[in-house]
Amino acid sequence: MRILFTCLIAAVAIFMAWAWYQPVCEGGAVVASEAECKAVAIFDADFCARAWSRTASIAKTAGTSYATQTACSDQWPVCIEREPAGYGPKPAGWCLVRGSAGEVVRIEPQFERKRG
């Protein structure tokens, strides 16, 4: 019984370690601004301009929505107005993935919770 219990704990620990070290943005890079995007070797200025032009509209609908700004601010460092109504967290960065032909394959917001 001890061996079974020990194996179970080891399996859970291995899974947690594996999940912790998975890349956040498979095939791309996480950037916080258009200037930072241009500094990434796998992106060019044209790609960054196309991707960044879409981030504002994505930010208004992605993530958790709250009825009031106070409720949002309790959980997140910076909140923005949402569409059609309410407030939500402002992304701290963006996972951008470029296709083989230079097209924008994925734009995914990355959120950072309040600490402390």
Residue 16 lies in a domain: no
Residue 73 lies in a domain: yes
Q: What angle do CA 39, 45, 49 make, to 5 degrees?
A: 115
pTM of the model: 0.76
Residue 45 lies in a domain: yes
Residue 4 lies in a domain: no
Nearest to 90 by CA among 116, 70, 61: 61
Print the domain residue range for 94.
23-110
Q: How many domains are contained in the chain?
A: 1
Residue 57 lies in a domain: yes
Residue 12 lies in a domain: no
Question: Per-residue confidence of the chain (116 residues) as pLDDT tens digits?
Answer: 889 888 888 888 887 877 777 678 888 999 999 999 999 888 999 999 999 999 999 999 988 899 999 999 999 999 999 988 899 999 999 999 999 998 999 999 999 987 76
Cα separation of 51 and 96, whole Å?
Answer: 7
